[in-house]
Amino acid sequence: MAAGQRVCATAEIGTEEARRFTIDGIDVAVVRASDGSLHALADTCSHEEVSLSDGFVEGCALECIGHGSAFDLVTGAPNVPPATEPVAVYALTVEEDSVWVDTSTVLNQTASTS
């Protein structure tokens, strides 16, 4: 059995789509990149209190609708200002067509988890 919490079926997230889930009080954006890979990031932009899952997925980045900062889906690092701090990237596992996210495992330890 995968670690963390089951959030959805893999088919529920389309290509270049982001969806918000709350896991143990933490808002998480689960994102499918243009290459089909799935990622889990903290859902709140590190620049302002804006939900990243409301933004746009382009390639392997999630763009915040607030001020246009884009965050790398693998590292959580912003690649477009005004954000300068990364967002947390959480462990994500696919098991039997289900998406599992473990918010206790932050893959980029320097990131903000808010």
- Tell me the per-residue pLDDT of 5-34, one tens digit each, with 9 for 90 and over: 999 999 999 999 999 999 999 999 999 999
Contact 101, 23 (CB under 8 A): yes
pLDDT score recorded for residue 112: 57
- Tell me the per-residue pLDDT of 82-98, one tens digit each, with 9 for 90 and over: 999 999 999 999 999 99
Note whether residue 112 is domain-resident. no
Note whether residue 74 is domain-resident. yes
Beta strands, E only, 1-114: 5-9, 17-23, 26-32, 38-42, 56-58, 61-63, 70-72, 89-95, 98-106
pLDDT score recorded for residue 80: 84
Contact 13, 32 (CB under 8 A): yes
Note whether residue 113 is domain-resident. no
Domain residue limits at 15: 5-103
Identify whether 81 is preceded by a cis peptide bond (ω within 30 of 0). no
Contact 26, 20 (CB under 8 A): no
Note whether residue 67 is domain-resident. yes
Q: In what order do the strands lie in the sheet with 70-72?
A: 56-58, 61-63, 70-72
Note whether residue 91 is domain-resident. yes
Q: How many domains does the chain have?
A: 1
pLDDT score recorded for residue 43: 98
CATH number at residue 20: 2.102.10.10
